[in-house]
């Protein structure tokens, strides 16, 4: 790991100012992703700003009838929260489908949204990777691509976003709140928060340098059956090959977002509209522009089957 200086930020303002002052600074929350990447020198910040002491660890009701989840709420606490379990069960389910008990005790809401891809070439500093080193090339294209994206890919990058939590937040239409060093606040709908790779895969999200996430807001509950189904190579403690987060109403209408297939949580309102017709109809809209490789073509069929199981579970 490269040496760095360290500070415990005393306020959100101090944290954003410190980030502005040093373009090579990074925030550290749970640390479970950034330290992993620092050990491998994939991330090499010269300064770490510890944001754990800022009191952003509360889950509060909003005047509109939704909830506001502080950026530093731990994944365990979010999954265990009574309101989340009752009104946003999909979010609890997605959280406990991810990582391990130990990791969820540290991982935070903001850190989870901002975790980086698990593309093995991104992790291997001996290989070209446009996300890690812009312009160096993409080793995955033409390489081993079983876990990679099948939709929304580009000539530069075919990585997926690995977060389970983000799939639930996309289904639930969360809004991400941020602030920068000038005190300018933004409310970013999660649909616009994560990016497609295009020709700048080094940028995972629309966050600007030094922009700080303060909270994730959930709109008022929408009822329905909340289901998160994750398909992976082992029954626990593995990233998704494909995951489906859905809220299905008793009349068969609903919403669905898919994980493991794209650079961002994959949802299309036009596919939601097809849900009452069944899994085939909805998944063919979701994957109409799919460009799988021979190694990950199975994901196309897997999305339909997983969605079909989700719809069956909702009816049962």
Binding stretches for other proteins (CB under 8 A) = 1, 3-8, 28, 30-32, 35-36, 39, 47-48, 50, 52, 76, 79-80, 85-86, 89, 92-93, 96-97, 99-103, 105-106, 236-237
| Closest alpha carbon to 131 in 201, 204, 205, 41 | 201
Q: How far is CA 58 from CA 55, 70, 190, in A?
A: 7, 5, 20
**Contact partner, 293, from ligand SF4, other proteins, ligand FAD, none, Cβ < 5-8 Å per class:** none
CA 88 to CA 195: how far, in whole Å?
Answer: 25
Note whether 50 and 9 are within 8 A (CB). yes
| Closest alpha carbon to 231 in 261, 189, 194, 201 | 261
CA 120 to chain centre: 18
Site for ligand FAD contains 91 (CB under 6 A) = no
Q: x/- contact string, 8-47, with ligand FAD (CB under 6 A)?
A: ------------------xxxxxxxxx-x-----------
Q: How far is CA 136 from CA 75, 157, 220, in A?
A: 35, 11, 45
Note whether 275 and 253 are within 8 A (CB). yes
Site for ligand FAD contains 164 (CB under 6 A) = yes
3-state secondary structure of 12: helix
Cβ 138 to other proteins shortest distance, Å = 24
**Contact partner, 1, from ligand SF4, ligand FAD, other proteins, none, Cβ < 5-8 Å per class:** other proteins
| Given 32, 75, 115, 130, the residue binding ligand SF4 (CB under 6 A) | 130
* Residue closer to ligand FAD, measured from CB, 103 or 273: 103
Length of the chain: 316
**Contact partner, 52, from other proteins, ligand SF4, ligand FAD, none, Cβ < 5-8 Å per class:** other proteins
Q: At what angle do helices 279-286 and 298-315 cross, to 10 degrees?
A: 140
Please list every residue from 178 through 207 that binds ligand SF4, using CB under 6 A.
201
Instruction: Give the interface with ligand FAD as residue ranges (CB under 6 A).
Output: 26-34, 36, 51, 71, 98-99, 103, 106-108, 110-112, 114-115, 162-165, 212-213, 239
């Amino acid at each position: 790991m490269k040496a760095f200086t360290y500070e415990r930020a005393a306020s959100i303002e101090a944290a954003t100012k410190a980030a502005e002052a040093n373009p090579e600074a990074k925030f550290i929350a749970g640390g479970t992703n950034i330290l992993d990447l620092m050990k491998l020198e994939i991330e090499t910040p010269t300064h770490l700003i510890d944001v754990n002491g800022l009191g952003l660890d509360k889950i509060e009701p909003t005047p509109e009838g939704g909830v506001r989840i502080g950026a530093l709420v731990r994944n365990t606490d979010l999954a265990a929260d009574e309101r989340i379990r009752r009104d946003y069960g999909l979010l609890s389910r997605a959280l406990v489908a991810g990582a391990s008990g130990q990791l969820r005790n540290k991982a935070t809401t903001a850190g989870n949204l901002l975790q980086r891809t698990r593309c093995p070439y991104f992790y291997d500093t001996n290989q070209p990777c446009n996300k890690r080193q812009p312009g160096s090339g993409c080793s995955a294209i033409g390489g081993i691509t079983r876990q990679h994206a099948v939709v929304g890919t580009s000539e530069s990058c075919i990585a997926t976003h690995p977060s389970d939590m983000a799939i639930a937040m996309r289904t639930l239409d969360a809004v991400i709140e941020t602030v920068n060093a000038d005190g300018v606040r933004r409310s970013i709908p999660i649909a616009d928060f994560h990016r497609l790779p295009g020709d700048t895969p080094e940028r995972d999200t629309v966050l600007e340098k030094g922009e700080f996430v303060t909270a994730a807001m959930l709109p008022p509950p929408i009822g329905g059956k909340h289901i998160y189904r994750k398909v992976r190579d082992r029954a626990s403690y593995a990233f998704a090959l494909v995951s489906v987060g859905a809220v299905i109403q008793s009349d068969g209408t609903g919403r669905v977002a898919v994980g493991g297939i794209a650079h961002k949580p994959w949802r299309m309102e036009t596919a939601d509209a097809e849900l009452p017709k069944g899994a085939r109809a909805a998944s063919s809209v979701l994957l109409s522009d799919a460009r799988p490789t021979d190694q990950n073509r199975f994901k196309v069929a897997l999305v339909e089957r997983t969605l079909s199981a989700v719809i069956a579970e909702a009816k049962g």
